[in-house]
Amino acid sequence: MAELRYTEEHEWIRVDGDEGTIGISEYAQEQLGDIVYVELPSVGTSLDQGDEAAVVESVKAASEIYAPIGGEVTEANDELNGDPGIVNRDAMGAGWFIKIKVEDASQLGALMSEQDYKDMIEGLN
């Protein structure tokens, strides 16, 4: 079963085996508003935990997306190039940004569980 973890910056990672899928939370996309552009890294890019992994531009602002854990980019969601609004419609599913090969699964321990994340965003409202 895939493990879902969150960062304080509202990125999520779903880890299944040694593959991690990364995106932004529903809360983050709501705060950004209509997303009009997503810049993704190239396949083969090596990311350390906390590195800038993508850039999202919305009608409100531009935001950097950071790697929740380190790994090598194995896939970028090219669908977002033609339709960045997928992130607004399905942030936790089809709106994923990149997939990485997980290098150090112990880094997941620094991230929040789904319940911890829900508690955090409740405190923001």
User: For every residue of 75-86, which 3-state class applies, written as one string?
Assistant: EECCHHHHCCCH
- Give the pLDDT confidence score for residue 124 in this predicted structure: 82
Q: Whole-model pTM?
A: 0.95
Q: What CATH number is attached to the domain comprising 50?
A: 2.40.50.100
Instruction: List, in order, residues 6 or more apart from 19 with CB less than 8 Å away.
Output: 74, 99, 100, 101, 102
Is 40 contained in some domain? Answer: yes
Number of domains in the chain: 1
In whole angstroms, what is the distance from residue 113 CA to residue 33 CA? 25
In whole angstroms, what is the distance from residue 71 CA to residue 118 CA? 26
In whole angstroms, what is the distance from residue 88 CA to residue 105 CA? 29
pLDDT digits 0-9 by tens, 71-88: 999 999 999 999 999 999
Query: Quick check: 11 and 110 in contact, CB under 8 A?
Result: no
- Give the pLDDT confidence score for residue 123 in this predicted structure: 86
Is 116 contained in some domain? Answer: no
Is 81 contained in some domain? Answer: yes
Is 68 contained in some domain? Answer: yes
Is 34 contained in some domain? Answer: yes
Residues with pLDDT less than 50, the chain: none
Is 7 contained in some domain? Answer: yes
Is 124 contained in some domain? Answer: no
- Give the pLDDT confidence score for residue 1 in this predicted structure: 61
Is 121 contained in some domain? Answer: no
Structural domain of 32: 3-104
φ and ψ at 62, to 5 degrees?
-105, 140
φ and ψ at 104, to 5 degrees?
-140, 95
